[in-house]
Amino acid sequence: MAVISKKKIVYPISENLRKYLVKYGREVDIPIHYKELLRYTNSIALYDYKDNDTLWETVFYDESDRNEIHYKVKKIYALLKADGDMTVMKHLYVDRIDLCTYGNTQPFRVRIVNRINDNFDYFYIKNADASRVYGLGLEHLLSPNRIGYLVYRDTLIEEHIAGIPGEQFMKQQLHDPMLNPIRLSKEFVKFNERCFVRLLGDMHSSNFVIDVTPDFEETHYRIRSIDFDQQSYEGKKSIYLPQFFKQNNALIQLGIKHITKESMAQYQKEERALIATRLTSSPKEITDILNSMEKDVLSKDSNIESLKNELARHYNNPAFLRCKNMGAILRMSLNQLIHK
């Protein structure tokens, strides 16, 4: 089983990464920064509709600060969703700001509500961690999903990724008579392959969601990462394979029961071919993000040494042994797809 025993180091945004973000429109001057949201005066535990502690706290601000903070937070939402056009925001209000005190970057989650129809959305304001920013960028480029995120100085803004939390899905949905176990198992195999190829670690059930889309004849599933802190950091190969996390056992057992080894190999090849296509469709941006990663410090030397040795054995490719950093290891991992 895959186990992470120590908390990950938070790495600052480097000059190289900053240049990449500016070039591709991800660096935007925002009206309020993470540290300003720490001025809250009180907080209470947030419970869900079943009265379970969510481990988030709803924070409150002095009346003198609240209106200004809420207005600036709405402007951030406008930047994220409407390129800064505040005219489309006039019917929206900030319903709640929550703080996650146990997360690596202690994010704030903002709930925005449309006062006309009570429809709501979320987005996040976080301390910027270079690993997470690289993870978001690679997810946007190499996965089937597109992600909205912005950075300014030491603040990271992320859109909400909708879906049923993996842990909740396994507890409540796996025995649904409408479940298609073969399609779900196929998606888990493909998700497992995506994470491994692009070296996104720590994908246990609390760090991904399952997006369920009913179709006219069948149900489709998409597993989406929601935590990108462990992009190219750990030294063990197993950390980058969701199949080795005990929290995912229910999905793993479903796959063992419903798909064959031959089918699994087919799905792995399909996903690798799709990633290779994405690599060739955005070659300049992929090259720029990898060049930046190769110039940055994103992990400990011991992790780099361990991972390159494990991947050299896995792929039977001694070229991994020449890699000096995590960016070079990731480039070599992606090159495996293009060469084949």
Question: CA-to-CA distance for 336 and 272, rounded, in angstroms?
Answer: 9
Question: CA-to-CA distance for 276 and 272, rounded, in angstroms?
Answer: 6
Shared domain for 239 and 269, answered yes or no, is yes
pLDDT at 5: 61
Domain boundary among 133, 159, 185: 159
Domain assignment of residue 28, given as a range: 15-159
Question: CA-to-CA distance for 85 and 121, rounded, in angstroms?
Answer: 17
Q: In this structure, is residue 299 part of a structural domain? A: yes
Q: In this structure, is residue 280 part of a structural domain? A: yes
pLDDT at 3: 61
> What are phi and psi for residue 224, nearest 5 degrees?
-125, 130
| Burial letters 7-30, b for 16+ CB under 10 A, else e | ebeebebbebbbebbeeeebbbeb
The identity of residue 222, as a single letter, is: R
Q: In this structure, is residue 283 part of a structural domain? A: yes
Residue numbers of the chain with a pLDDT score lower than 50:
none
Shared domain for 121 and 216, answered yes or no, is no
Residue with tokens 């895959």: 2
Shared domain for 239 and 138, answered yes or no, is no
Shared domain for 29 and 90, answered yes or no, is yes
Closest of 138, 9, 155, 166 to residue 80, by C-alpha: 155
pLDDT at 2: 65
Task: Give the number of domains in the chain.
Answer: 2
pTM for the model? 0.94
Cα radius of gyration (the chain): 21
- 181-197 and 249-258 helices cross at what angle (nearest 10)? 120
Closest of 82, 79, 80, 59 to residue 69, by C-alpha: 59
Q: In this structure, is residue 49 part of a structural domain? A: yes
| Burial letters 54-85, b for 16+ CB under 10 A, else e | eebbbbebeeeeeeebbebbbbbbbbbbeeee
Shared domain for 77 and 31, answered yes or no, is yes
pLDDT at 212: 93
Shared domain for 35 and 139, answered yes or no, is yes
> What are phi and psi for residue 179, nearest 5 degrees?
-65, 140
Q: In this structure, is residue 1 part of a structural domain? A: no
Which alpha helices (H) appear in the chain, and where do they start and end?
15-23, 63-82, 130-142, 166-172, 181-197, 249-258, 261-281, 283-295, 301-315, 326-339
Q: In this structure, is residue 41 part of a structural domain? A: yes
Shared domain for 302 and 222, answered yes or no, is yes
Residue 226 CB neighbours (<10 A): 18
Shared domain for 172 and 142, answered yes or no, is no
Question: Dihedral sign, CA of 293, 125, 68, 78?
Answer: positive
Q: In this structure, is residue 8 part of a structural domain? A: no
pLDDT at 170: 95
Domain boundary among 125, 159, 193: 159
Shared domain for 207 and 263, answered yes or no, is yes
Shared domain for 144 and 182, answered yes or no, is no
Q: What is the DSSP string of 76-138?
A: HHHHHHHTT-GGGGTTEEEEEEEEESSSTT--EEEEEEETTT--EEEEEEEE--HHHHHHHHH
Question: CA-to-CA distance for 301 and 297, rounded, in angstroms?
Answer: 9
Domain boundary among 159, 187, 209: 159
Q: In this structure, is residue 40 part of a structural domain? A: yes
Question: CA-to-CA distance for 85 and 77, rounded, in angstroms?
Answer: 10
The residues, ordered by sequence, that sit 6+ positions from 50 with a Cβ below 8 Å of its Cβ are: none
pLDDT at 186: 97
The most distant pair of C-alpha atoms in the chain lies apart, rounded to whole Å, by 64
Task: Kindly compute the dihedral angle of the four CA atoms of residues 192, 196, 200, 202, in this order, to the nearest 10 degrees.
Answer: 60
Shared domain for 170 and 302, answered yes or no, is yes
Question: CA-to-CA distance for 313 and 291, rounded, in angstroms?
Answer: 25
Shared domain for 134 and 34, answered yes or no, is yes
H or E element that contains 47 = strand 42-47
Closest of 154, 148, 152 to residue 80, by C-alpha: 148
- By CB atoms closer than 10 A (0-12, 13-18, 19+), residue 198 is buried
